[in-house]
Chain A
Amino acid sequence: MISVLVVIAGLVVPGFLPSLWLTRCPLPALALAPMVTGLACALGSVVALVTRTALLPWVVVVVVATNLAVVLQATKGQSKPESGAVDADRFSFRSVVPFALVAAPLLTVRQAPHAWDARSIWWFHADWFWSGGDVLARALQNPIFVFSHPDYPPLAPATIATLWRLRGGSDLEFAQLVSAILTAAPVVLLAMAVGGRFAGTASRWVGTAASVLVLLAVHGGTKVMGTDGYVDLQWAVAFSAAAVVILLWPPEPRHVAVGAIALAYAGLTKNEGMLSAVVLLALAAFRFRHRRQLLVFPAVATAAGFVWMVVARMHGAESDLASGPTAAKWLRGDFVGFERLHPTLTAVWNVGRGTMAPAALMLVLGVVFLRRDRHRLGIPGAGYLWLAAAGAQLLIVLAYVISPDPLDWHLGSSLTRTMLVVQLLLLVEMVVWFGVAMAVASDRRLARMSAVSEVSALSATDR
């Protein structure tokens, strides 16, 4: 129980004030706070690595500086909800529904902490971060640790290491709990983001139903609980939340800032997130082509992942994909390895068809029957999330084509996890169409009720 309290306090408290300042509402701030804390830990870890010093003091510096900046902004009187604030209706107290629903899958965190990648990558890296920047620097260039992908981004292990320091010791069950909360936070944010997009529709429950559908999609559609220490669901959900907020929400500074936090979170969690962020940045550039100042947020978020990549490379860490023989040939303009393309596409279809086929059907039905209603609700077109999914999918396929690993082994050991982001984006897009349909049905019902009451009123007047 003490572990749970330490995890929740350690993850929520440092990031709560900045989150509250951005969202203006306590519940969504609760979901965003662990993500802000995670980003602070990641930033602190970069400084610890460069200076080869302990991690915790730098995390404290980042957290204090961030909170101080927010307090200064608030005391300057700039915290009043101006045009562009994340309004309470979008992130309303109905948001308690996602919190309640995310709690059930979290119970599986009580399983033994034995997942292979969690042990060999994420919690192993947390050991390095826990030991300090000097140990981390040696680990990044130690050829023995190549199996552990030392180049992988720091957010999850740095956050675990920070909380280990706060608790005064390292153990894997505690690490598993931290990993689970780091995944649950963007899950809740995604559910709120999709539900919040329907704020202002005639029926208040459309948004709540959309949130519930998203949660069912995450935990049912992907069949991944996210409580075993793997970070695939963590980055995929954060990326999806970023895509929804940046591409589908009204284009206001604070909305985009919240989306950028989720985008940086994805990019600093897994390499695929870092690369997929470029796709989202390109889509954001198109959407904000008339308000280019909004592009600053996703641009900074995208750059964050690349900062880690550069710093890790400077310290000797190498990516197995980028340093493999096929990638080297590609860099010389010799595009080989395409015999891996067909089996990769076949495997992708086998894993993704359960989502891709219904999403395509829903897209056709939506465009034919609901396009105008979607436009009337102010929700940008389906092309955004489909293009984000297509871009992420392209990067996934490319990774398998240039991978130095045997294809069957590589696909079999990872495709269900790497495809999560594509599946989630398409599932979310389906939920958006469903929400539009519900909103239309609700509007028609209200219109009928209004017409009936008008007729009744007229009849009463005639009498």
Chain B
Amino acid sequence: VTGSEVLRAELAEEQLTSLRGTVAHYECMGDAMLRQLPSTRTRVRMDVADGMWMQRLTEMATPRHDIVADAADADYVVTLGAEVGACGAPQVVVMSSR
């Protein structure tokens, strides 16, 4: 991850275990992401290869933020962190500012 500022949204292991495989997992991660992003309107690029995660994070960030296609236009680039819980599900969303 590169950028002048790196924000991380993380779920606790026990929370992740209880949420795995449910829609609430996306929602909790999305909520955590939105709490980290500035409350002002920003341009966000979703650099998330997993289509399901990309759709849900995009949906949750809209319309509070503008979702842009090109990283060069973005204030923040959102990625799924490499960290996964013991259950194998993503645990971290990373937002790096440009």
Residues of A within 8 A of B (CB): 112, 114, 119-120, 124, 127-128, 130-131, 135, 138-139, 142-145, 147-148
Instruction: Using CB atoms, name the residue of chain B closest to A131.
Output: B63
Q: In whole angstroms, what is the CA distance A145 to B46 when docked?
A: 11
B15 contacts partner chain A, Cβ-Cβ < 8 Å: no
Given contacts A124-B59, A130-B63, contact A147 B54 (CB under 8 A): yes
Residues from chain A with a CB closer than 8 A to the CB of B55 are 120, 147-148
B58 touches A145 (CB 8 A): yes
A119 touches B59 (CB 8 A): yes
B69 contacts partner chain A, Cβ-Cβ < 8 Å: yes
Q: In whole Å, how far is A154's beta carbon from the nearest beta carbon of chain B?
A: 16
How many inter-chain contacts with C-beta < 8 Å in the A-B complex?
Answer: 39
B68 contacts partner chain A, Cβ-Cβ < 8 Å: yes
Q: In whole Å, how far is B91's beta carbon from the nearest beta carbon of chain A?
A: 21
Report which of B24, B56, B58 forms a contact with A144, defined as CB distance below 8 A.
B58
Q: In whole Å, how far is B37's beta carbon from the nearest beta carbon of chain A?
A: 16
Q: In whole angstroms, what is the CA distance A143 to B70 when docked?
A: 10
Sorted from nearest, which 7 A-B pairs have the closest CB atoms? Answer: A114-B23, A131-B63, A143-B69, A124-B59, A144-B67, A120-B55, A127-B63
Q: In whole angstroms, what is the CA distance A127 to B61 when docked?
A: 11
Q: In whole angstroms, what is the CA distance A135 to B63 when docked?
A: 8
Given contacts A114-B23, A119-B56, A120-B56, contact A144 B69 (CB under 8 A): yes
A120 touches B59 (CB 8 A): yes
Q: How many residues on the B side are at the interface (Cβ–Cβ under 8 A)?
A: 16
Q: A138-B66, A139-B62, A145-B58 are in contact. List 9 more A-B contacts (CB 8 A).
A: A119-B23, A119-B56, A120-B55, A124-B62, A142-B68, A144-B46, A145-B67, A147-B55, A148-B59
Report which of B22, B23, B67 forms a contact with A142, defined as CB distance below 8 A.
B67
Residues from chain A with a CB closer than 8 A to the CB of B58 are 144-145, 147
Report which of B23, B63, B66, B68 forms a contact with A112, defined as CB distance below 8 A.
B23
Residues from chain B with a CB closer than 8 A to the CB of A119 are 23, 56, 59
B88 contacts partner chain A, Cβ-Cβ < 8 Å: no
Q: In whole angstroms, what is the CA distance A144 to B68 when docked?
A: 7
Q: In whole Å, how far is A130's beta carbon from the nearest beta carbon of chain B?
A: 7
Residues from chain A with a CB closer than 8 A to the CB of B67 are 142, 144-145
Residues from chain A with a CB closer than 8 A to the CB of B66 are 138
Instruction: Using CB atoms, name the residue of chain A closest to B58.
Output: A144
Q: In whole Å, how far is A326's beta carbon from the nearest beta carbon of chain B?
A: 21
Q: In whole angstroms, what is the CA distance A103 to B51 when docked?
A: 37
Q: In whole Å, how far is A45's beta carbon from the nearest beta carbon of chain B?
A: 15
Residues from chain B with a CB closer than 8 A to the CB of A130 are 63
Q: In whole Å, how far is B21's beta carbon from the nearest beta carbon of chain A?
A: 12
Residues from chain B with a CB closer than 8 A to the CB of A144 are 46, 58, 67-69
Q: In whole angstroms, what is the CA distance A144 to B46 when docked?
A: 9
Q: In whole Å, how far is B12's beta carbon from the nearest beta carbon of chain A?
A: 22
Q: In whole angstroms, what is the CA distance A128 to B66 when docked?
A: 11
Q: What are 7 contact pairs spanning A and B, CB under 8 A?
A: A114-B22, A119-B59, A120-B55, A130-B63, A135-B63, A142-B68, A144-B68
Residues from chain A with a CB closer than 8 A to the CB of B63 are 127-128, 130-131, 135
Instruction: Using CB atoms, name the residue of chain B closest to A147.
Output: B55
Residues from chain A with a CB closer than 8 A to the CB of B59 are 119-120, 124, 127, 148
Instruction: Using CB atoms, name the residue of chain A closest to B66.
Output: A138
Instruction: Using CB atoms, name the residue of chain B closest to A130.
Output: B63
Q: In whole angstroms, what is the CA distance A219 to B68 when docked?
A: 42
B51 touches A147 (CB 8 A): yes
Instruction: Using CB atoms, name the residue of chain B closest to A146.
Output: B69
Residues from chain B with a CB closer than 8 A to the CB of A135 are 63
